[in-house]
Every structure is written in C-alpha cells, then in structure tokens.
Amino acid sequence: MIIFGHPWVKHEPLYRIRNREEIHTTPPNSLLKIEQFDIELLQYCHANQLAYMVTIENIKEGIFGNIYQAKYLRCSKKLATELMPIAQNYLFDSRILAIIDHEEEIEEMAKANVDGVWFR
C-alpha cells in the first residue's frame, strides 16, 4: 500500500502546479501535483513524459487520468472504492489514492483493495 502524508513514511517530494508555466520552475524529474483536473495539462504532461498526480472527482476523470498516464489518481474514499474494480478490470497503470483524515482509515482502504492513501 502507498501512503502519503504519514509521519512514519517518507515519499518523494511533490510540486504543486496549476499551469504549464509552473512546470518550468520545478526541478527535473519532479513528481507534479495537479489539484484540479485539467485535460490540457494532463495531455501536456503525458506528451512530455512528466510524472504527475491528479485529483479527480469522478470515474470519467479517473479513466482519462489513466489514459494520460497519471502516476497517481487522488480522490475521495467513496470514489476510490468505486474506481478500484474498474482499474483492476482494465489494468490501470495509475495508482488510486484515497484521501483520508485518520490513521484508522488505512485498514479500511486496504480491505477495499485501494492502492494507497493520502492524508489530508
């Protein structure tokens, strides 16, 4: 299971971006964090082979995030549990991260076969 934001687990740094211009201010080979789904920004990242995480609000955004090779799809717990069977059926390369508030929710998401969690 992938865990972001827990004090016991280190992870690679993320660089929040909102547009193409902000990408140029990040270090090479950075993991980019797109907090609002923007298909043009996803397409740009994909075309330029940039690693990124995108926050999604629905299954359709999750499907397009996977098509454009997001490393991580970050979403609500409810959406994560709905999207996981689809991701498993279609063999998504993107990993699904459920947004959680409490450590106890890790076990809940593990039992639901969600790829990982993101502490709010």
pTM of the shown model? 0.95
Whole-angstrom Cα distance, residue 48 to residue 111?
A: 36
pLDDT bucket at 11, cuts 50 / 70 / 90: confident
26 alpha-carbon distance from chain centroid: 18
Which residue in the block uniquely carries the two structure tokens 């998504």?
92
Convert the pLDDT of each residue in 19-71 to its tens digit: 999 999 999 989 999 999 999 999 999 999 999 999 999 999 999 999 999 99
Are the C-beta atoms of residues 87 and 69 closer than 8 Å to each other? no
CATH class of 13-97: alpha beta
Whole-angstrom Cα distance, residue 68 to residue 56?
A: 13
Whole-angstrom Cα distance, residue 60 to residue 109?
A: 21
